[in-house]
Structure 1
Amino acid sequence: MTIADDIIALEKDALDRWCAGDPDAFLDLSADDVTYFDPFRETRLDGKAALASLYGELRGKIFAPRHEMIEPKVQVIGDAAVLTFRFVSWNGSEGDRVAWNCTEVYRRAPEGWRIVQTHWSFTGAGLAGGQ
């Protein structure tokens, strides 16, 4: 397995759990100094404690029984790796179909790869329903 394969597998597992209402896989993957952006927040979140608070509010509220990671790409730069992909979910809590762009920056740590930066945004299709 390559580094890219490892990181994509970690992310897919975390997304599977997220789409079942469980954010803990992402928390487990996050470094203490993680930063986080999404289109529902006006400001960046700084640190794992702040992210845990946000995810605590969302626990059990996000469900997407059908979801797909599209065209994942990992660029490895020394002890860092940048994962970019599109993510689409259907029949979830946000509507019939939601399309996202995601960037995750991972850093190699003694305990394994950890997310140090997350950025989610809607694609041009955004919240287009019924597709």
Structure 2
Amino acid sequence: MTPEELKSLVGFEKSIQWWWSSGDPTGYMDALAEDVTYGDPLADYLLVGREAVREHFKRIHGDAGITRQEHLNEVSRSISTDAGLLAFTFNTYQQDGTGEETLFLSWNMSLIFRKTDGTWLMTHGHLSLRHSWDVDNIQKLRNSWNLDSIRK
């Protein structure tokens, strides 16, 4: 994979991530490979296959009112001629009741994408909530997506 292809992959991931943060999960759903594996702290187990991940996304996704997002500590690596690894810290921000921007949630993410027929497809994703020992973080997720239980 060339440096230009890696740069293209980074731009692609940032664009579908913004769709997600803006309330539209379509970009991420369309970018799932048939054989994707996905680890998410909101899932009870590792999700295997496009349909399992899509169903998970449908269950948890909602408009969280994200006003800004940032990718920090970004690492991108070529792992073959048609695949790349992206790893980064992902912060999302919301406006509070006074209009001030505040950190909503912070994640560590690692994603592997494969280029198939000219299209980037995610083959593996792993998310971990930073500061997961903070009970407020899980409550923020539940409140944001109006979930009574993340195990439904």
TM-score by length of 1: 0.84
Provide the identity percentage.
Answer: 25
Name the CA distance, whole Å, in 2 between partners of 1:44 and 1:33: 13
Please tell me whether Structure 1 or Structure 2 has the larger radius of gyration of its CA atoms: 2
**Counterpart Cα distance in 1 of 2:116 and 2:55:** 23
Shift of 1:124: 4.1
Alignment of 1:75-94 (within 5 A): 75-78=77-80, 79-91=82-94
- TM superposition score normalised by structure 2: 0.74
**2: distance between equivalents of 1:5 and 1:122?**
26
SS of the aligned residue for 2:57 comes to helix
Q: Which residue in 2 is equivalent to 1:119? A: 126
The match for 1:26 among 25, 28, 33 is 28
Q: When you count helix as a share of all residues, which structure comes out higher?
A: 2
Return the match for 1:70 from 69, 72, 77.
72
Question: What's the counterpart of residue 15 of structure 1?
Answer: 17
CA–CA distance in structure 1, aligned partners of residues 54 and 14 of structure 2: 20
**CA–CA separation in structure 2 for the residues paired with 1:32 and 1:42:** 20
Residues 43 and 56, structure 2, Cα contact 8 Å, conserved in 1 = no
C-alpha offsets along residues 50-105 of structure 1, whole Å, 9 cap, x if unaligned? 1111111234343311211113221002222110011001228xx84311100001
Alpha-carbon distance in 2 for matches of 1:56, 1:119: 18
Number of aligned pairs?
127
- Within 1, Cα distance between the matches of 2:29 and 2:84? 18
RMSD of aligned Cα (Å): 2.3
* Contact 1:30/1:116 (8 A) holds in 2: yes
Q: Which digits, 9 at most, give the CA deviation of each residue in 1:28-51, with x for residues without a partner?
A: 111011111111222011111111
Stretches of structure 2 that go unaligned for 5 or more consecutive residues are: 96-101, 138-152
Specify the code of the residue in structure 2 equivalent to 1:82: L
Flag the 1:98–1:59 CA change in 2: closer, same or farther, 3 A: closer
Q: Is the 8 A contact 1:73 1:85 kept in 2?
A: yes
Pick the structure with more strand per residue.
1
Structure 1 residue 8 displacement after superposition:
0.8
Q: What displacement does 1:11 show?
A: 0.8
